[in-house]
Structure 1
Amino acid sequence: MASKFCIRLLVATRLFLLAFVSPRTAGPVTGGLPSIKEETPRFVGQQIVEAGGNTTMIDPTRLLGQNIVSLRTWGKHFLIELPDMAIRIHFLLFGTYRVNEQREGKPPRPYLRTAQGDELNLYACSVREIDAPAGPGHLLGRRQRHQERSAVPDSRASASTVGALPAPKPRALVEEARQYSFDFLAWKKQWVLKKNWLAHAKKICPRRDIPFTKAHLSRSNRRSFFCERCQKRYA
């Protein structure tokens, strides 16, 4: 009975996150993307007069003279739509951006300057040209669409390993995951995300003063860090 409850709860939680705070709606789970969406509307309609950066994945000369048709976000993707192509930016884990300013000592992957004098610099990200009409079906890419389709089945598979959890625990996990999505967004906007990590990418548990265990878990092979003493295992 408890196992069936966990399955229903986890699947419902994943559906909630996909619907309300998922990458498709540029919600809190997307980190800095909501803020870049808020800071860049002025670029739409402007003409690109200079482009460059240290990426070799795009030809900057193709961008010159083109007007920016739209700017979109899906997940960690930032999409710059031009009349006959698009630039897809993926911010990876630590990607950042600057509008009308630059990071000291950090060359941008790509950068754009417009005829009106606005400047967009993008850092620690992957860059790709897309010769296709804009829109989720074309710009997200095959891999991203596959990840979204497999999200709920992955939750069902994971649920089979937590059937022994007492009923209050899954509820607490759901609430904590939901709250963290909003904390993540707030910390990302304040540029203090790393300062608030207690376990991720850390070596020593601050509570027990012993080494964290590092493992790649679930179907997505996510890198995870946990303390063998603090993390209670339910049989």
Structure 2
Amino acid sequence: MPEGPPILLMKEDLQKFAGEKVIDVKGNSLQDNHGVKDHILREIKTFGKQTFLIFDTVNIRIHLLMFGSYSLFEKKDQQDNLRLGLVFKNGGMYFYTCNVKLVNDDFLANIDWEADVMSDEWNPAKAEKKLKSNPKMMACDALMDQDIFSGVGNIIKNEALFRIGIHPESLIENLPQKKLEELIAEARNYSFDFKKWKKANVLKKNFQIYHQKICPKCGLEIIEKETGKGKRTSFFCAKDQKLY
């Protein structure tokens, strides 16, 4: 599942179509045009792993799920997987193997935009409050909670915890205040590093712990284990990541 940084990169690719009129709609998600064809795409917004295409009378939510993708040109060999294609005068945007859903303005109004770790509206104080209201939550589950850290996925979770030396199974209530603040800050810091490296096509070269075998700090073998309520895979060093 794409994490927040690739979604922001996708938005940058699609941004040139904001303010342009849709001249054709393709794909198997919208049974009719729903006020899209011949209408102007007013804005593109992102929230974590979700993308919203804003029109005057309708909003479209795109979620790439586990294996979704997008393209600026139509892929003839993937017609069966085309969920939505919007054609403009000077090109188009095409979404494959993803979830496409119409949402109303109330849906958008109820989103806590301050929970998006890569947004200018990101509110670390609110994140801290949410964490402290879930004291028994493991650090690995906390970072993957989209209501707290929207946009954070398994790569960011693992790499951020390694950077700050916290074992993924540490309980929030056991973290010293300084470590809690580091966890909140690093979720955002690593996300922007992720975006920079992804754009330069060097993301995997910069992995320290994710899918690695040997700890770059101490040389011990990295542990791979399903952790937390979500049972997502964690990679960690028993020596350099303290269990609180």
| TM-score, length of structure 2 as denominator length | 0.58
Q: Decide which of 65, 76, 83 is 1:109's aligned counterpart.
A: 83
The answer for the alignment partner of 1:225 in structure 2 is 234
Matched, 1:213 2:222: no
Structure 1 residue matching 2:191: 3-state secondary structure:
helix
Residues 194 and 102 of structure 1: CA distance in aligned 2, closer, same or farther (over 3 Å): farther
Structure 1 residue matching 2:83: 3-state secondary structure:
coil
Residues 48 and 67, structure 1, Cα contact 8 Å, conserved in 2: yes
Residues 222 and 212 of structure 1: CA distance in aligned 2, closer, same or farther (over 3 Å): closer
Point out the more displaced range, 174-183 or 64-73. 174-183
Q: Decide which of 93, 101, 105 is 1:128's aligned counterpart.
A: 101
Instruction: Tell me the CA shift for residue 211 of structure 1.
Output: 5.4
Q: Partners of 2:97 and 2:203 in 1: how far apart?
A: 15
Structure 2 residue matching 1:88: 3-state secondary structure:
strand
The unaligned stretches of length 5 or more in structure 1 are 1-28
Q: Decide which of 183, 186, 190 is 2:193's aligned counterpart.
A: 183
Matched, 1:139 2:91: no
Q: Partners of 1:52 and 1:178 in 2: how far apart?
A: 36
Residues 213 and 228, structure 1, Cα contact 8 Å, conserved in 2: no
The unaligned stretches of length 5 or more in structure 2 are 116-122, 136-170
Residues 70 and 82, structure 1, Cα contact 8 Å, conserved in 2: yes
1:10-25 correspondence runs (5 A): none
Q: Partners of 1:41 and 1:234 in 2: how far apart?
A: 43
Residues 65 and 99, structure 2, Cα contact 8 Å, conserved in 1: yes
How many equivalent pairs are there?
Answer: 189
The answer for the alignment partner of 1:16 in structure 2 is none
Residues 91 and 126, structure 1, Cα contact 8 Å, conserved in 2: yes
The answer for the alignment partner of 1:152 in structure 2 is 128
Residues 32 and 96, structure 1, Cα contact 8 Å, conserved in 2: no
Residues 74 and 229 of structure 1: CA distance in aligned 2, closer, same or farther (over 3 Å): closer
Identity %: 23
Which of 1 and 2 has higher RCO (CA within 8 Å, sep 6+)?
1
Residues 60 and 128 of structure 1: CA distance in aligned 2, closer, same or farther (over 3 Å): same
The answer for the alignment partner of 1:162 in structure 2 is 175
1:81-96 correspondence runs (5 A): 81-92=54-65, 95-96=68-69
Q: Partners of 2:181 and 2:172 in 1: how far apart?
A: 13
- Please give the root-mean-square deviation of Cα atoms over the aligned residues, in Å: 3.9
Q: Partners of 1:59 and 1:112 in 2: how far apart?
A: 14
Residues 24 and 37, structure 2, Cα contact 8 Å, conserved in 1: yes
Residues 88 and 139, structure 1, Cα contact 8 Å, conserved in 2: no
Residues 70 and 90 of structure 1: CA distance in aligned 2, closer, same or farther (over 3 Å): same
Q: Partners of 1:103 and 1:161 in 2: how far apart?
A: 51
